[in-house]
Structures are given as structure tokens and as C-alpha cells.
């Protein structure tokens, strides 16, 4: 008998060791979990319910002291002192039950309750108790007490489909378990013992009695003082379960979709910035929807790190919004890429920050871009062309920079959706011919912002100085719905910003950049429906600046003198000054402009004694050496409208022969090598082509010829209609001084 007993004891010991080696607490609780996202300070932003329709948060990291003391006081006072089974509690329970001749007291420890949860058994039979006891000892030997406690707190039932104390804290109290009062902690401590008590409108007295009794035990154990006790018992019980926070719906969805592993994300989002962004967008949503504009998206990044601080994929009011994350949906760019071309051109030495660029009507292979205001300024400083978002100067700029090269640059900036060939996009690329996402737009501008902040050049993308020139030009934009000089008001925060409107008014963009924040806004309709009110400056711009006003600690980019080089510049042309430039300055500019062109606008000319006419050695005894700002005819035609101070070059004296080879006459339309189809009118008759010529001296007489046939003369206003047939034609014009120009064009069927 002794041998059998010894054998039985050894067998059980071996079996117990085998159980200890084989058990795995992670596998025991390998159940569906909710996907939860917290902000950078561990405040809950949103969650997705587990696959089994339970709100079950992932394993808790640590247990707050209030809740731990309340739980142990209620469930298992000797938790840290027993091996998973409390012998004292067992004897006490047996004695109480025998005396009452019924089960009035249990002896289950927290570890034993955890074993019941792991085995998903509701039975309280003796057999189940023995198994739970056996496993409780085994788990206590293998795992430390804190691990066991964390698994219990995470998997205990709290009524309905609420599992785990952290989940319950958010569902019943609307805040983190780490922020609960003693009364709230005590409420959660008693619930796993009777989870059905948490039912709105029922069992309120029973639940409060259990909670208050626990609070009384806590004061007896010295965990709380009398004042804390009095305040705690006065606290009301929670009412119906609350909805979990839902501050960043699309951010949660996007990360849930792309998650690699795990069910918990501590994000970079700032709760306060996210909340303010939600409120600001909601304030604009009401007005926008009355205009038939249903959707909007916002992303705010930390410029220095590129991390997302706020993310709104879509309006909350649109029932379709939950399915359409507009932050990752490609949409037409409008003008939002112009600053990138401006900076890239400066970086290649092709453009000075304030260099005069042409703004006249152009026709390039059938492409006829127009400025938003339908005006032409002749010549305009490049930074002003950016601040006014003029189209024609940027089409010319892209033509000079090269579409292929700019596409490569955009790829380096991080735009993965711009992936077609240069032939596919053409010059319309800079006016909205491509599609991008708000997510990648904010990433690109944040990357540029970081370049402007570096102490020394450490990137081949763009030189820090060229980025600063871009930022400086973007800072000069006038705020929407405000007068000029807004920066002088106390509430003004000086930021670099740009808006964009896609062709057909389908997308409104705004991007803002400071050393602290990169802010992106898109507004429109997710189905692409156009609306006349969808304009970047009047729709996305106001949202941008409301966000700026709500953001703390905004500063301005400082001029990076350590990165700049000094040049002698012509003030008027923005090019390197020559001897003919009488008004020049020493300017600190990007070192990439070392090979920039010299000013060709200021020219040395000879004037007569009255300074009213041009002369030369053939006709004048007295010649006064002077410098003149000479503008090509096409540009001069429009410049005189926008620049009252512009003075055309004086005419040649009648006694002189013009020996110059300057182009005083220029055909504006049709341009060289252009081809087009002549439209028909309502009578099915082909309309005329109105040809136009620009001349330095508009009062000159111009004689027109088409295919060597004289067709007429103009004076002052140099336009004339022609009716050419199908095929190639030559337009030839000559003025009364023998200056001429010609072009070849083609009329298609």
C-alpha cells in the first residue's frame, strides 16, 4: 500500500511538473481583442470591437494603485502571500457553509478565477474547483503575481459585452482606468463578482451596497481616510454604458487596415489638437453642406518629425464618410504644387526668387492656359507669381525646368500617385493635371520644412536656402477674407501657406507650414461633384487659418543666413545686376544661384539732347548715354496696363536710321508652329482668326501679309482678322521702319 501511495505521489508530481512546463498564459487567453488607438499621452482616441462582438481591450500594461487595492480588498487580500490557493479562506468557507448548511461563502482566489476564465467554464462543481485549484498552483509557480493580476484585470467580465477593467472604465465612466476615483475603482472591483449588477435602471441599490461596503473595508484597512470615504459614498453610480471615444475614426480604420501586429497603438496624435480640429471642421461643415459640399479632410503633422498630430479623413455628418477616407484618396492638385516647382527652379539656378517672369497669353501645342483672374501682367516677379498663384508664369517655368525632371523631383518629395509619363501629364501637370493625396501632400511639405530648419545641408533633395525662398514667397500670401497687412494684427500668426483649386471646381486645397506644424486641408465632394464654391482660398483657406489660430506655440521660419551667399542684384528685374542697372542692391540668396543670368532688361541706349528720342552716330551730334528698362513687345503690351510707372523705349529720331537688331515687333497670335481647328458659327460658317502683334512703339504702322499676299495695315491697335484655308500658312508683318516678324501655323480639318 505504501509503495502504491508512493508511486501515485511520484506520478502526480511528474504530471504536475508536466502541466507547469506545458501551460502558456498567452495561449490560454488567445481570444479576439478590440483594436484600440491612444494618443501620445495614452488618451483613448477610438477602438474597433473584437471579432466576437465583445469590447475586450488588449492586455493592460499596469494596474493603477487605487483599483488594485480595491480589487484585492474585495477579492483576495492574501493574493501576494499564497501559492494560488488560499488555505485559510478554504477553511473559513467550509466552516461557514457547514454552519449555514448551504453555500454562503466561496474561497476562490483571483488566480483560481483566472483559471475559470481561461477554461471558459461557468460550473462551480467540486470537480471544476479541484481543476482550478490544480491549475492555479501551476500558474503561480510559473508566472509572477503581477502577470497573473494583469491577465485577470484584462479578462474579467464587467457586464454585457464589456470585458476587462480598462474597457469598463471607458464604457462606464468615459475615462482611463488610471484616472478613476476611489468610488469608481470600488465599483469596478465588485463587478466581476456580479457583472449582471451593471444594468441601467436595475440593481442600483445592490450595486451601491456592495460598492459602499468595499469602501468601508478600505477605510478599515487604512487604504483611504474618513474624508475620502465620505466623498466616495456620495458619488453616484454610472448610468448607461457610454460610447467609446471616436475622435479619429479614419485614423483608427487606416491603422487597423495596415496594422502589422498587435491590437494596441500608442499613436503620435495629440488629443487636444485632434479635438480642436474636429470642432473646427464641424463648425465649417454646416455652411458647406448648404452649398452642396459634403466632404473635407484635415491632417496636421509635426514639421520637425513628420509625425501626425491630428487626422480627419472625412466629415462626420456624411453617412458615406466612414467609407471614404479622403486623406488617402487621390484628387486633382490644382495649384498646390507650384511652390515645389518654384523651389526646384531656384535650386537648379534657373530662377531667382524675385526674377521677372513672363505673363502673357501663350499657346503651346494646343494648350492655352489662362490666369484665374483672366488678366495678363506682362512681367511679374516670380515670388509674386507664386503668391498670386498665376498660371501662365508657372507653365512657362515648368517648360523651362522640364516635365520629366519635375516628375522625378515629385517622386523624391514622396508623391507615389504621380506615376505616369511626362507625355501623359504635359505642362498641365502644374495646374492640376495630376492627382495626389492629402497624406502625401503634408508629408512632402513637412519634409521641406525640416530642410529649412537644418543647421547644415544634409540632403540632396533641395538646398535649405532654396526652401527658405519658397517659404518666404508663401508667407506673402494674403489671408482669405481679410484685408492686406493682416500680419500687423495681434492675432496674426505668420505662416507660409498656399491654396489650390482643381479644374472644374472639384477640389479645394490649403497647405500651411511653420517650424512646428504642417497643416493640410482638402474640401470637396467624395463623388467628384463640382460646385462653384469649391475654391481653395475661400473654402479650404479659412479652415486652415482657424486651425492655425487654435494651435499653440507657432513661430516663423528665420532667414538662414548661414546658408546664403551675397549677390549684387538688379532691384527691378531680380537678376544679377549689370553696369546698366542703375538701381541695385546686395542681396543674400541661395548659393545655387551662382550661375543665374544677368539682367538683360536694362540696356545702354543713346538719347538726343531732349532725352525724347533714340539716336545713333549716323544722325546726331549730341548723344546722351542712358540706361533704359527695355521690355519685349509681347510683355510690354500688357505691362503698361498693370504698371503705371512703365515707360516704353522712346522711338527712333526721324532723322536716324535704326541700326539695332532688337526685336521691336513680335507676333502674339498665332504662335510659331501652332496648329488648331477653326470653329464654325451657328450658320455652319468657319469663323475668322484674329491675329495680334505687339510692338514697342504702338503708334507705328504695321503691314500684314499672309502667304505673300498683302491683307491690310494697322496703327495703334495691331489686330486683324484672317480666313485661311486648311493647311500651312505663313504670316509676315513689317512696320514702317522695316522691322519685321513672321510665323508659320497650320489649320487642321
295-561 CATH fold: Beta-lactamase (3.40.710)
At 675 the pLDDT is 80
At 681 the pLDDT is 66
45-234 CATH fold: Penicillin binding protein transpeptidase fold (1.10.3810)
Nearest to 364 by CA among 389, 395, 387, 405: 395
What are the backbone angles phi and psi of residue 310, rounded to the nearest 5°?
A: -150, 145
Question: Is it true that the peptide bond before 415 is cis, omega within 30 degrees of 0?
Answer: no
At 90 the pLDDT is 62
At 193 the pLDDT is 81
* Rounded-to-10 torsion of CA 709, 712, 714, 717: -90
Cβ(345)–Cβ(351) below 8 Å:
yes
At 673 the pLDDT is 79
Q: How far apart are the first and last CA of the chain?
A: 115
Sign of CA dihedral 338, 340, 345, 351: positive
How many CB atoms are closer than 10 A to CB 244?
Answer: 19
At 58 the pLDDT is 94
Distance CA 496, CA 508 (A): 17
Bridge partner residues of 624 (DSSP): 607
At 18 the pLDDT is 53
Decide whether 45-234 matches 665-748 in CATH topology: no
Cβ(67)–Cβ(177) below 8 Å:
yes
Q: Which run of H or of E encompasses 677?
A: strand 674-677
Q: Taking phi first (over 0 means left), then psi (-120 to 50 degrees means alpha), and beta for anything else, what does residue 582 get?
A: alpha
What are the structural domain ranges in the chain? Answer: 45-234, 295-561, 601-661, 665-748
At 486 the pLDDT is 38
Tally of CA atoms within 13 A in the half-sphere of 745 that contains its CB: 27
Cβ(520)–Cβ(511) below 8 Å:
yes
Mind giving me the DSSP string for 237-257? Answer: PP-SPPPPP-S-HHHHHHHHH
* Rounded-to-10 torsion of CA 421, 423, 426, 432: -40
* Regions of the chain where pLDDT drops below 50: 7-8, 14, 103-105, 482-491, 661
CATH superfamily of 665-748: Immunoglobulins (2.60.40.10)
Distance CA 560, CA 564 (A): 7
Burial class (CB in 10 A: 0-12, 13-18, 19+), 462: buried
E strand intervals along 443-547: 496-501, 507-513, 517-524
Amino acid at each position: 500500500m505504501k509503495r502504491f501511495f508512493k508511486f501515485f505521489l511520484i506520478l502526480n508530481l511528474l504530471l504536475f511538473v508536466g502541466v507547469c512546463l506545458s501551460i502558456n498564459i498567452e495561449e490560454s487567453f488567445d481570444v479576439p481583442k478590440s483594436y484600440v488607438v491612444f494618443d501620445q499621452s495614452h488618451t483613448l482616441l477610438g477602438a474597433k470591437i473584437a471579432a466576437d462582438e465583445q469590447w475586450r481591450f488588449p492586455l493592460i500594461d499596469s494596474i493603477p494603485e487605487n483599483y488594485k487595492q480595491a480589487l484585492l480588498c474585495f477579492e483576495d487580500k492574501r493574493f501576494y502571500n499564497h501559492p494560488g490557493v488560499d488555505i485559510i479562506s478554504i477553511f473559513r468557507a467550509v466552516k461557514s457553509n457547514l454552519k449555514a448548511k448551504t453555500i454562503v461563502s466561496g474561497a476562490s482566489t483571483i488566480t483560481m478565477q483566472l483559471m475559470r476564465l481561461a477554461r471558459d467554464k461557468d460550473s462551480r462543481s467540486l470537480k471544476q474547483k479541484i481543476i482550478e485549484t490544480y491549475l492555479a498552483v501551476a500558474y503561480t509557480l510559473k508566472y509572477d503575481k503581477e502577470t497573473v493580476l494583469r491577465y485577470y484585470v484584462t479578462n474579467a467580465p464587467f457586464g454585457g459585452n464589456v470585458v476587462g477593467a480598462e474597457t469598463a472604465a471607458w464604457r462606464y465612466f468615459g475615462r482611463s482606468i488610471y484616472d478613476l476615483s476611489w468610488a469608481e475603482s470600488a465599483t469596478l472591483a465588485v463587478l466581476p463578482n456580479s457583472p449582471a449588477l451593471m444594468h441601467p435602471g436595475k440593481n442600483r441599490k445592490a450595486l451601491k451596497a456592495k460598492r459602499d461596503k468595499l469602501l468601508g473595508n478600505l477605510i478599515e484597512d487604512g487604504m483611504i481616510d474618513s474624508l475620502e470615504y465620505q466623498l466616495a459614498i456620495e458619488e453616484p453610480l454610472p448610468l448607461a454604458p457610454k460610447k467609446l471615444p471616436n475622435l479619429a475614426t479614419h485614423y483608427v480604420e487606416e491603422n487597423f487596415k495596415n496594422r502589422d501586429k498587435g491590437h494596441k497603438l500608442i499613436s503620435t496624435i495629440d488629443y487636444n489638437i485632434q479635438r480642436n480640429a474636429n470642432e473646427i471642421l464641424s463648425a465649417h461643415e454646416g455652411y458647406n453642406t448648404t452649398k452642396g459640399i459634403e466632404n473635407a479632410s484635415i491632417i496636421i503633422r509635426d514639421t520637425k518629425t513628420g509625425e501626425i498630430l491630428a487626422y480627419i479623413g472625412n466629415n462626420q455628418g456624411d453617412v458615406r464618410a466612414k467609407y471614404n477616407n479622403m486623406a488617402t484618396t487621390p484628387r486633382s492638385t490644382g495649384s498646390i504644387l507650384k511652390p515645389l516647382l518654384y523651389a526646384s527652379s531656384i535650386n537648379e539656378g534657373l530662377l531667382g526668387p524675385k526674377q521677372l517672369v513672363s505673363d502673357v497669353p501663350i499657346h503651346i501645342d494646343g494648350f492655352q492656359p489662362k490666369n484665374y483672374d483672366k488678366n495678363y501682367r506682362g512681367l511679374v516677379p516670380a515670388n509674386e507669381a507664386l503668391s498670386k498663384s498665376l498660371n501662365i508664369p508657372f507653365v512657362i517655368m515648368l517648360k523651362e525646368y522640364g516635365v520629366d525632371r519635375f516628375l522625378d523631383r515629385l517622386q523624391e518629395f514622396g508623391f507615389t500617385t504621380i506615376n505616369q509619363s511626362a507625355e501623359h501629364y504635359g505642362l498641365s501637370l502644374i495646374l492640376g493635371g495630376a492627382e495626389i493625396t492629402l497624406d502625401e501632400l503634408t508629408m512632402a511639405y513637412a519634409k521641406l520644412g525640416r530642410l529649412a530648419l537644418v543647421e547644415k545641408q544634409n540632403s540632396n533633395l533641395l538646398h535649405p536656402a532654396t526652401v527658405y525662398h519658397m517659404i518666404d514667397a508663401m508667407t506673402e500670401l494674403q489671408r482669405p477674407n481679410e484685408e492686406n497687412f493682416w500680419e500687423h494684427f495681434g492675432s496674426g500668426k505668420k505662416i507660409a501657406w498656399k491654396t489650390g483649386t482643381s479644374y472644374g471646381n472639384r477640389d479645394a486645397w490649403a497647405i500651411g507650414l511653420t517650424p512646428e506644424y504642417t497643416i493640410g486641408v482638402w474640401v470637396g465632394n467624395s463623388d467628384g461633384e463640382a460646385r462653384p464654391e469649391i475654391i481653395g482660398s475661400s473654402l479650404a483657406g479659412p479652415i486652415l487659418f482657424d486651425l492655425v489660430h487654435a494651435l499653440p506655440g507657432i513661430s516663423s521660419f528665420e532667414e538662414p543666413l548661414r546658408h546664403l551667399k551675397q549677390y549684387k542684384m538688379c532691384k527691378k528685374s531680380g537678376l544679377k545686376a549689370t553696369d546698366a542697372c542703375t538701381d541695385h542692391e546686395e542681396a543674400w540668396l541661395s548659393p545655387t544661384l551662382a550661375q543665374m543670368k544677368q539682367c538683360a532688361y536694362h540696356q545702354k541706349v543713346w538719347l538726343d539732347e531732349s532725352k525724347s528720342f533714340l539716336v545713333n552716330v549716323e544722325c546726331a551730334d549730341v548723344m546722351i548715354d542712358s540706361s533704359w528698362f527695355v521690355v519685349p513687345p509681347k510683355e510690354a503690351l500688357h505691362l503698361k496696363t498693370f504698371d503705371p510707372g512703365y515707360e516704353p523705349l522712346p522711338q527712333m529720331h526721324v532723322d536716324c536710321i535704326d541700326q539695332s537688331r532688337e526685336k521691336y515687333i513680335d507676333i502674339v497670335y498665332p504662335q510659331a508652329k501652332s496648329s488648331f481647328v477653326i470653329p464654325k458659327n451657328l450658320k455652319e460658317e468657319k469663323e475668322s482668326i484674329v491675329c495680334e502683334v505687339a510692338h514697342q512703339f504702338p503708334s507705328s504702322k504695321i503691314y500684314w501679309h499672309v502667304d505673300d499676299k498683302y491683307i491690310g495695315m494697322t496703327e495703334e491697335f495691331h489686330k486683324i482678322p484672317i480666313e485661311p484655308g486648311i493647311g500651312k500658312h505663313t504670316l509676315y508683318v513689317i512696320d514702317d521702319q522695316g522691322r519685321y516678324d513672321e510665323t508659320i501655323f497650320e489649320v487642321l480639318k
